[in-house]
A and B are shown apart, each in its own frame.
Chain A
Amino acid sequence: MQFLKSSIGRKVLMAITGFSMFLFAITHLLGNSSIFGWLPGGINAYAHHLHSMPSPVIWGFRLVLLVFVCIHIWFGIQLTIENRAGGSQQYAVKAFQKVTFASDNMIWTGLLILAFILYHLAHFTFQVVSPETAALSNLDVSGNPNVMGMVVAAFQNIGITLVYAIAMVAIFLHLYHGIQSFFQTMGWNNDRTISAISGSGKLIAFAIFIGYLAIPLTILVRILK
C-alpha cells in the first residue's frame, strides 16, 4: 500500500491508465476511419461488427476503460491539489524556462476531455442528443444501425463540429505533454532518449489531432456525405 500512497506510485498508475486510454484513442480512430470507406460497408459494418461481439467482451472492455478513466481522474485531481498547495505560484515574478502551456494545464485539458467524453457518450453511444437521427432507430439497407447517417447529420451542424474541434485541441494538448510524460514516469527514459521520445510524442499527438478532426471537417465541408 505504500506504493499507492507514494507520489511515484500514484503517478505510475496515472501513466499506465493514461497510456491505455491513449492506445484506446488510436484504436478508436482507426475504427472510426472506416467512415472514409476503406472497409466494405463503411462505419455501419464496423459498428455492427463491434456490437456483434459477445456482450461479456463488450461490457468487460467498457468496465476496464471506466475503471482506468476513474483511476486516472482521481489521482490526477489528487496530485494536482497537493501540488497547488506546495508550489511556487507565490512568486511575484516567475519566468518559466521549460514549462509549456500544455504541461501547465494538464488538469484543465483533462477535465475538458472528461466533459467531452460525457457529451460524446450521450451523443453517439446513448444517442440522446439528436434522437431524430439516432442510428439505433434509423436502420440502413442491410438492417444495421445507420451510424453513418447519424454522424453525417451531426457534423453538418457547425456548432457540434466546433464542440468536437475544441475537444480535439484539448486531447492534443493533453497528449503533447502526456505521451513523453508516460515514459519518464515509468523510468523508461534517459538523456539519450528524451528528445526522441518527446519529439515523437508531440508528433503522434498531432497526428491523432489531425486524424480525429478529419472526420467532422470533411463532413462539414460536404466532402463526406
Chain B
Amino acid sequence: MERPKLGEFLVARGLLSEEQLSRALELQQRSRERLGRILLALGYVRRQELYQALSQLWGFPFVLLTEERPDPRLLRRWPLEEALRHRAIPLRLRQEGTLLVAVSDAPSPTLESALKAHLGVVNPLYLVTTEWDVDWAIREFYRKPLLDQSVYALYYRSPEESAYTVFTPGQYLALAAGLLGTLLGLYLWPRETLILLNLLVNAFFFASVAFKFAVSLAGALAERHTPVTEEEVRALKEEELPTYTVLVPVYREANVVGLLMRNLAGLDYPKEKLEILVLIEEDDPETLEAAKAARPPANVQFVIIPNGQPKTKPKACNVGLLFARGEYLVIYDAEDQPEPDQLKKALVAFRKGPEHRVCVQAALNYFNWKENFLTRMFTLEYSYWFDYLLPGLDRLGLPIPLGGTSNHFKTEKLRELGGWDPFNVTEDADLGIRAAMRGYTVGVVNSTTYEEANNHVGNWIRQRSRWIKGYMQTALVHSRKPLRLVKQVGIRQFLAFFLLIAGTPLTFLLSPLLWGLFLLWLLTGTQALEPYFPPFVLYLSLFNLLLGNALAIYLNMLAAFKRRLYALAPFALLNPVYWILHSVAAYKALFQLFTKPFYWEKTLHGLSKQEAPHLEPTP
C-alpha cells in the first residue's frame, strides 16, 4: 500500500487546511524545497506536530529528547562530528542489542555505517524527533567537545595559524635584537641611526601612500563594472536557490534584538531556505528573553553558546558554523540592516566568480551618519574602505581583509579553512589571508549592510583599539613564517597584506611622532632637526606630508560623493582630527597586545538616537 503523502496526512489529521496545503504546494513547485520546511516557514504547523506526523509516516516512534535523555556512555563513543553530520543521537542500547537512535531526518545507509563503525551496532531502532531537539541535545550533551571544537580546532590543526600564541620565541628574539640594535646604534652613531630610522619610517609611509593610491585607483575603475546586476538577481530561479544560513552573534544586546528580527524578516529570500541562527551567550539570559519576546519567525533558531574563555564573537560563530545546514553562510551583527536582496546578489557573485572564490564581502555603511562628528567621520572612512579599497584589492587580486559582518561564505570551504580564530580579535581580517594561503579568493559584491556608527568617543576607541589589536595579532601570526607565506600567496599579495594589516597599526602609531616633529618645526622654526633630514629623507617626508595626507583626505571625500552623501564631502577635510583618535586607539591596542591580547572590547550598540530606515525589497 502506498504511503500517504505528508500534506494529505496533515490535512487528514486536521493539522492543516486544504487552502494551506495548496498554497504550500504552490510554493514547493517554485522552490523545490521539502514540504515540511515550507510548512514550518509559513507557520502552518508546529514543529512538534510536523515531526510527529513524519514519525508516523516513516513508521518510527516519536521522542522528545528533553524527556528521553541519552546514555552518556554511548555518546562518548559517538563523536560530535557524526552527531552533527547525521543529526542523530544514540539514546540507549537495549538488552537484546537494539540501539535506539533519535533522528530528525529519514535514516540513511551512511548513518547505519557510521553507527556500525563507532558503536558496533547493526540493528538500530530509529525514533523521530525534531531537528531542534537534536541540536539542543548536541549542545547539551556535547558541551565540552563543542567548546573544545569552537575554541581550539584551529590551534590543534595548525598552531602556527592561531593567535593563541601572541609572540613566538623567534619573534621575541627579533624584537629584542631590533631594540638592542637601535640602542647600540644610538649610542655609537646617534646621527646616522636617527637618519636611518627617519628614512625607514618615511619610506614605509611612502610605500603605504603609493599602495593605497594604486589600490584606490583600481577600486575607482571597478565602478565601471557592476559585479552583480539587478537583471542577474531577477533571473535567479527560486527552485535553484540553496539553503542559506545566517549567523547572528549577539551579546548583551537585548535592546537591539527586536530590530534584528525586523531586519532579518526583510531579507528577500525564501523563508523555507533560510536558516537563521541567533548565537546567544549562555550568561546572557536578558538577550535570550528579549529575542523570544520579539516573536521570531519559524526559521530563527537560538543557539546558546557554552560559557567559556575566550568569550569572543569568533568562538560563537564557530559554534554556529558547526550547526549550520546551509550551503552558504553569512554573518550579520545584531544591529545590521542588509539590503533585502543581498543574499541573492552574493549567490550570483559566487556563481559568476571562479570556483576558488570562498567568500564575498558586502559593503558596510552607516544609517546614523548625520548624528555627530564621529558618525560622520566613521561613515566617510567606511565609505572609502568598502567602496574603493576593497573593490580595488579585489580587482588587483590581492588578499581582502574581511569586514566584521556581511561576509558570505561557501559553508564547506569555511569549515575546510578551520572557521574563525577565536583568539584573534579581528578574526575576519585573519580569515581573509588564511583563505589566500590556501589558494582561495575573496570577492566583493555591490550590496550594502547598514549598521549603527559609533556615536560616542569612548565606545569608538574601545572598538577601534580592538580592531587595531586584531590587525597586530594577524600581522604577528602571519609573519611567523614569512617565506612560507610568500610561497603560498605570492610576493605581491604578501606585500599588500603587510602594507594593509601591519601598515595600518604602524601608521597610527608613527604618525603622531611625525606630526609632532612637523609642528615643532613650524611653531619654533628650530634648525635642530635639519641634520636628521638629509635631502632624500626630506623629499620623502615632504611627499608624505603633502601628498600622502591630501590623498587620504581626497579619497574619503570621493567616497562620500560616490555614496551620494554630499553633505559629508567637506567633512573629509577634518580627517586629521579623526586620525588623532586612531592614534589614541592604536596605543591602547599596543598596550593591550602585551597585557590582554584576547580581551574582546565589546562595542555597545543601540546608542544612536536615529532610527534605522526600513529597507524595502526591490519589486
Bind each other: no
B positions within 8 Å CB-CB of A:
none
